[in-house]
Amino acid sequence: MNKDALTQKQEAFALAYVETGNAAEAYRRAYDVKAATLHSTIYSAASRLLSDAKIYARVGELQSQAASLSLYTVKDAFTEYEVARVLAVKEANPSAAVAAVKGKVALFGLDAPARSKTEHTSPDGSMTPQAGIDLSKAPPELLEWIVAQNDAANKQ
């Protein structure tokens, strides 16, 4: 076995994480978790797995594959909103143009309501958030996608 290859359970975790977007649920699906297992134990183990460079890279690969196989992508939706906006401007229909712009804004999550301060800690510290997201080990494809999304949003 290649020393850089994931174990079957690590691969199952990565697949389940991409499917659900929930590390704890992915851990429960991939590993033999007993009903009596403490939630904090599951969260801690799932967090450790996600911080593993090989697993993090595999999750990025799977997310890229899923995005490329998607029948309807963010890019498709963005293009349709832009076509609708251009047509609305051409037809002198400002409300339709505004609706198209609002759609593009929502597409990239820029319409999210102001966040209220929420405490995200647990008594044992296992749920304490890390400062920022470390993208230093992110796959280049993921970084390119993030930059492209940011560039597209800034061109509006």
Q: Please give the average pLDDT of every successive group of 10 residues along the chain, which has 156 residues.
A: 80 93 93 91 93 94 84 81 92 91 83 63 62 68 78 76
- pLDDT confidence of residue 58: 94
pLDDT value at residue 74: 77
User: pTM to 2 decimals?
Assistant: 0.47
pLDDT at residue 131, as a whole number: 58
Quick one: pLDDT at residue 133? 63
- The distance between the two most distant Cα atoms of the chain, rounded to a whole number of Å, is 64
- pLDDT, position 49: 94
Distances (CA, A) of 150 to 90, 127, 130, 145, 153: 27, 29, 23, 9, 5
